[in-house]
Chain A
Amino acid sequence: MKSFVFKRTVQMIFVLFLVSVFSFGIIHFSPGDPLAMYKQPGMHKMTVEQEEALKEELGLNGTVTDQYIGWAKKTLNGDLGTSISNRLPVKDQIFERIPATAGLMAASLVISIVCAVPLGLIAGMYNNKWQDNLISTFTYFGISIPAFWFGIVLIILFSLKLNILPSGGMRTIGVDSTWDLIKHGILPALVLSVNNTAVFVRYIRANTITQMKEEYVMTAKSKGASGTGILFYHVLKNCMLPVITLVGSRFGMFITGSFVVESVFSWPGIGQLGMSAVNNRDYPMIMGITMLSCIALLLGNFLADILYGFADPRIKQGKE
């Protein structure tokens, strides 16, 4: 167990390093001028000296390698630099928005699992019967619907036509109630969960079908257990174990999904921050968010593996 944690930690650090190099490279070689927003028509024109000073302040001087090394040094010291667009520390801005995004992701994960477990089990249990066909049809929609489109459809339906839910934001100004927060959060969380729910349902369905063919199911039946008894007492746990790993590996989808969803619903989270950072070529902000997402992804996977080890008695024993 100790060596496992150690190995994974080394791996994760290495991955983080590679990701930082690649993203830094991609950002710097893609077209666009980070200082464009300072040079908009109608703005006071900067002198050459002023521009140099600004570049110096924002760490945009020297070759890409120099810039990377400068960025890496600061980052290792816990300083993610200042945002180009508003000259505020990147770290503070990101940390300020973590709760909004984390909350959204947690809510959508809960929705996904709560919906996917029963649906997946039913679809697997009634393999190729009408129940399965119905559920599977929905999962195909869920997998193929683009999040932004679905989000807009929901806004049109619930906000514009029915007028029962707000179309965006996280809170009504001046109102500070949980109910208000839930009302704002429900649509984004739903949209963010659709794709994952569909993937989980397909996966749990496939697992259920395989597990139902296992011989221990026949033993359970031979003991006199009923169909539902077998499903919940025997198959459920064996089915759910691999789902832990799946959730870990879908973490990336949650993060990228939240970018889109937050933009559609003006949810004041990291995704929204990231989107505007990309539009403004705000290098330090893009890097900060990329690294944070990457850490979240790696930790998600890592935690999933550890959790799996605790949940599966066969692995738990091996580790002791």
Chain B
Amino acid sequence: MKKLLEVKNLRVSFHSYSGEVEAVRGVSFHVNEGESVAIVGESGCGKSVTARTVMGLTQCPPGEIKEGSEIIFDGRDITKFSEKEWQRYRGGDCAIIFQDALAALNPTLTVGHQIEEKLKLHGIKDKKEAYSETVRLLTAVGIPNPEKRYKAYPHEFSGGMRQRIMIAIAIACNPGLLIADEPTTALDVTIQADIIDLIKELVKEHNTAVIMITHDLGVVADMAERIIVMYAGKVVEEGSSEDIFYKTKHPYTRALLNSVPRLDLDEEKELEFIEGAPPDMTDPPKGCAFAGRCPYCMEICTKEEPPCYEFNEGHTAHCWKYHEYAEGLFGEVEE
């Protein structure tokens, strides 16, 4: 399968008065054409920063994309793009859906115009054609009465409908990659599944690759082919959906799974909160960032960066627990 996106050693910092916030600290992953990948992790672990940087939306300054970071999209290093190339790439090759559609849509433009704007930016110059394509998109994302709703403003829609508008904007012009940054977090639980299903259906239809970002593993369970688990600006575990759910290796992934309600497990089993808080990113700890909260923490963990271990094809975890010297010290990371 062909790699569509390859992120190598991405490091992003923000310069603020309280110091340099190291939001992303050497993240590497890839997304194949048409593949669905999920990025999960607690709030503040750098998911959105990663996503926005891939979209070229990180404001620099205060942001800084560190020397040595590479983002290869379809064979081109996008970090070296000119402004014109960025404009063609954003929206044309890659699109993003944000969490809060009310904030993400312009309150003073009709939704029709906001969809059409993108069509016009990416080559549909003819007015009639843009209009009919907009109506088609509104229909595709399940907006009833599209001709009439074309003229409506964002505040006239419900939360779920607004997110559908965002999806319509995102899939317009058929981008190769769709990034959905917590697209359902702001929504009512009852409509979350509808939105996820809609995204699933649309990307399948056009063979679009997706990066689904969430802090809720339950959301991606049946959607993502691969899952990337992030903690404190780093990838700690990566693998197929199966690997992550059933052959969990990293203690943080385990903790994350235990904090998600699951229907397939014993109902009696209590949900666990992950105790403690993520580290301060202005001064990230030496060694493993999870050490302060990890039940398996060893001396080495607080001193040295944990190495990467591969368990089977594509399933990797960064954890000292799998070093040969630690063998036999602990059992498997149990449920």
Contacts and interface: CB of A to CB of B under 8 A. Distances in A.
B156 A317 contact: yes
Nearest to B117: A223
Given A226-B87, A313-B153, A317-B155, A220 B117 contact: yes
Interface in A226-270: 226, 229, 233-234, 237-238, 241
B307 to A, nearest CB: 36
Contact of B57 (A214, A221, A241, A312): A221
Contacts of A314: 107-108, 153, 155
Contacts of B106: 216, 219-220, 234, 238
21 contacts: A215-B100, A215-B103, A218-B52, A218-B98, A219-B166, A219-B169, A220-B106, A222-B55, A222-B57, A222-B96, A223-B95, A224-B87, A224-B90, A224-B91, A224-B118, A224-B121, A226-B83, A238-B106, A313-B153, A314-B108, A317-B153
Contacts of A215: 98, 100, 103-104
Interface in B94-125: 95-96, 98, 100, 103-109, 117-118, 121-122
Given A241-B108, A313-B107, A225 B100 contact: no
Interface residues of A, number: 22
B90 A216 contact: no
Contacts of B104: 215-216, 218-219
B66 to A, nearest CB: 22
Please list the 7 inter-chain residue pairs (A to B) with the smallest Cβ-Cβ separation, ordered nearest first: A224-B91, A215-B103, A223-B118, A216-B106, A223-B91, A313-B153, A224-B121
Contact of B91 (A216, A222, A313): A222
Contacts of B95: 222-223
A224 B103 contact: no
B109 A234 contact: yes
B181 to A, nearest CB: 11
**Residue in A219, A241, A317 with the greatest tally of chain B CB atoms within 10 Å:** A219
Contacts of A226: 83, 87
B55 A313 contact: no
Interface string B47-74: 0000010010100000000000000000
A224 B121 CA distance: 7
A14 B262 CA distance: 65
A225 B121 contact: yes
B105 A312 contact: no
A233 B117 contact: yes
A77 B13 CA distance: 73
Contact of B108 (A222, A223, A238): A238
Given A223-B118, A225-B121, A238 B153 contact: no
A311 B155 CA distance: 15
Contacts of A220: 106, 117
B243 to A, nearest CB: 32
Nearest to B86: A224
Contacts of B87: 224-226
Contacts of A214: 103
Contacts of B108: 237-238, 241, 312-314
B92 interface: yes
B248 to A, nearest CB: 34
A222 B169 CA distance: 10
Contacts of A233: 109, 117
